[in-house]
Structure 1
Amino acid sequence: MNARLYRTPLGVAALILSCQAPLPALGADYRLIPSLVVGEEYNDNLFQSASNAKTDFVTRVQPSLALNATGGGFSTDLSYGIDYRYFAKGSRKDQFDHRAAMKGSFGSPEDFLHLDLADTYSRVSSNVARDVVNESLVVNQTLQNNALISPYLTWHLPGGSKLKTGYRYRDVRYWEGDGIDKIEHDGYAEWSREIKAGMVLSAAYSYARVNSELAALDRHEVYAGLRYDYGTGNFLYGNLGYDWQYFDNGKSSSDPFWDLGAGRDFGVLTAVIGTKVQYTEDPQTIATRNVSHYATLSRNFPRGFASFNASYSKYDKQDLLVRDVQKKVLLGLSGRYELLQYLALTLNLSGDRLDRTIGTEYPYHLTGGLAVDYSLSQHLVLGANYSYISYRNDLGSTKGAVEVNRAIVEMRLSL
C-alpha cells in the first residue's frame, strides 16, 4: 500500500487493526471481496481547455480488495484499490492512483467504552463548490488523506436518556496539488432522550482546536434538537444552535447554525426538503462555512427509479483576509430502468451556476450522461456510457466555452 497512507497516527492504527482482526478468539465473521474493472475511455478534451483541446484514449485497470469483519465486540471495513491509467497519445505519463478506505469500531460488552477509527485516501476536487472527480481524470483535483480517531463513553442515565462524551482527533493531508494540511482536536458531549416511540430530544456542545500552516482557530458549538420518525420515509427533525470562532490572528466570528429537514412518502412520490449549515472540509482554506437548502422528489418503479433534486449552496471561506463567498444553484435529474432482467439503462442530467468564479472557472456547468449495463452473470457486468460536459460564460451560447465528450466501455468483475 502507498506509504503515504501511514504518515498519520490512524494509518498505524488501521495497520494494527488489519493485523489483529484475524485472531480466532474474537470470533468474528469475515468476508473478503476482490474485484476488477478494466476499461477504455475516449476523451476529446482531456484537460478541459476552451482553445487547445487534447484528444486521448485512456486505458484503465482497477483491481481492488475489500475486507469486512464483524464480531467479538468490533467491526471493520477495509478496502484498497489501484487505478492504473495509460494515455495512448502521451498527453501525460502513465499514472498509478491509490484508493483506500478504512473504518473500524470497538465497543465494550457493557456498551460503555467505544473507539471509532476511519481513514480515506482518494482524489477530491480542489474547489468544494464543484465536484469534478467523476467527470475528469486530471482537472482541478488533489489527493486527500482524511483520518479520524475517536474514543468516547456512553453513559446510560436515569429516565432512558443517554450522554455521549468523547474526543476526536482528525488529520487531513494533501498531495499532488494545492491543499492545506490540518490537524483538529475536538472534545464533545451529546445528550439524547427518547420522549416517545420515534421522537428523540437532543442537545450537544463541542470544542475544536484546528491548526494548519495557514491559520489556527478555536471553535465552540452548542445546539438543541428534536427528531420524529413516524413511518417509513416519514420524518421531521430540527437542530438549532450557535457557533463561535476565534482565530489566532485576532479575527473572530459568531453565527447561528441549523439542520432542519422533513421527508414524506406520498405513495406516488417521496419528497425530502431540508436546510443546513456545516463546516465543510476545503483543500483551499482552514474554515469554509457551507449553507445549503435542498429538495428532492423521487419515485420507485417495479423496474427502476427516477428522481429530481434542486439545491442552493453558499460557501463562505472565512479565514482569508478578504472573505471569499461563492453561491451555487444546482438542478439535477436522474433515472434508471431495467429494460430486461440483465439490461439496464441509466440517465443523468444536471446543471449548476456559480455567482462568483475563481481563476479560470466558468459560471455555468452543464452535464449529461447515458449508460447501459449488460449483466453476463451475478459477478460480471459489461458497461458502456457517454457523457457530455460543458462550461460556459453564457447559458445559451458556446462561445469561448469548454466542451467535452467522453465515451467509456468497461468490464466490471466482482467475486
Structure 2
Amino acid sequence: MEPLPTTPPPIDDLSAWLEGFMQPTVLVELGVLAVCVLLAWGVAASARRALRMQDEKTSVLFGRSVVDGVLFPALLLAMGYFARAALLKYVPLAVFKVAIPVLVSLVVIRVGVKVLQVALNGAPWVKVLERSISWLAWLGMVLWVSGLLPLVLKELGEITWTMGNSTMSLRTMLEGAITAAAVLIFALWISAAIEARLLRKAVGSELSLRKAVSNAARALLMFLGLIVALSAVGIDLTALSVLGGAIGVGIGFGLQKLASNYVSGFVILAERSMRIGDNVRVDGFEGRISDINARYTVIRSLGGRESIVPNEILITTRVENLSLADTRVWLSTVVSVAYDSDVALVMRLLENAALEQPRVVRDPGPSASLSAFGADGLEFTLGYWIDDPENGQLGLRSGINLAILASLRANGVEIPFPQRVVHLKSSL
C-alpha cells in the first residue's frame, strides 16, 4: 500500500482540499481527535491535582485552569501526532492536516504568553509582545495549512545581501530571529521557575539570600540565552570583543555609580545585613524594606510612601536597622501631672493604660518612671515595646493616650497647663 501524501495541497486546489472533509473517514478522525482531547484533559487534570496546583494561578504549565496552561495543549499535540501517524496507514487524512498546525500554533502562543506574564509581570510592553506572538503564530498556521509556507520560505531565501565575507538572506534572518525568541523565552521560563521555587515560603534572611540566588540565576540564564540567540541569528561573537572592551571602558569612566549599585545589591543580599521585611531608617526616611533589587532597594513608610534608595547608599552611609537583631521596637509617651499628685498611683495608671492595648509586649512589660521636674508639673515617661511595627504606631499611641487621659480624670489626677505670672511695671 502506497503511503498517502502528507503535504497540504496548494491554495489554488481549494476544491480538492475541501473535498477531503466530505469523506466518511472524517468521522473517524473527529472521533480520534475527541479521544485525544479527553485523554489530554484527564492527564492534565490528574497532574494538577497530584501536584496540588489548583491555587497556583501563575503556573506556566497549569495556569488558572486545566486548559489555561501549557500542559494541556502540549499533551494534546503529542497525542495528536501519535494518532496522526497511526491513522496515516489506514485512512486519508483531512482533519489532522488542520488540527496539527492549529495545535502547534496554540502551544507556541500559550508558551510565549504564559512565560511573559510570569517573568515580566507588570511590564507595559508585555501586552504588545503577547499580541505579536499570537498574530505571528496564527499567520504561520494559515501558511502551513494552505501549503504556501514552502513557497514563502523559498521567496524569502532568494532575497540576499552581502555583509563583509558573509551572505545573508531574509529567510536566514527570520529563522534566526524565531530561534532567538524561542531561546530567550525558554531562558525566561527556567529563571521564573527557579525564582518561584526559591522564594516560595521564604521569610526573613532566607528570603534575601534566595532573592540573591534568583537574581544571579536569571542574569546568567539571560546572558547565555543572548549568546545563543546571537549565534542563531548568524552574528560572529568574536566581533563582540571590541564592543566588550568599549563597554568595560564605559563602565570604568561613565557607569561607575551604576556598577557600584549592582555590586552593592549583591553584597546586601549575600551578607543579609538588611532583609526584606526589616524596618530601617535611611537619611531621615523610616519604613519597611519591601523589595531588594540588583540596583536599588524599595522602602515603604507606614504612611504608604515608597522611597527608591540606590544600593550604594545603603553600603556607604549610616543605616539604622530596627529589626536586625530583634523585631521589637521601643516607644514612649511623656505625661505631665500636678506636683501634688500621688506618684505611685500615676505610675500604676500609666502602666495599666499601656497594658490595655494587646499589641504592647508583656515581657518585658511597660514601665513608667519620673523622668523630670518640669516647669508646670511632674513629667512621667511611659515606655513600652511592640513587635509588629509594620502595623503602624499612630493608632497605638492614640489608644494609649486616650486610656491615660481617662484614667487620670477618673482618679482625680490633675493635668497642669502652663501658668505664667506677668508683672506690669508702672511708668509713673
TM score, norm. by length of structure 2? 0.23
Where relative contact order (Cα < 8 A, 6+ residues apart) is larger, the structure is 1
- Of Structure 1 and Structure 2, the greater strand share is in 1
Decide which structure has the larger Cα Rg and report it: 2
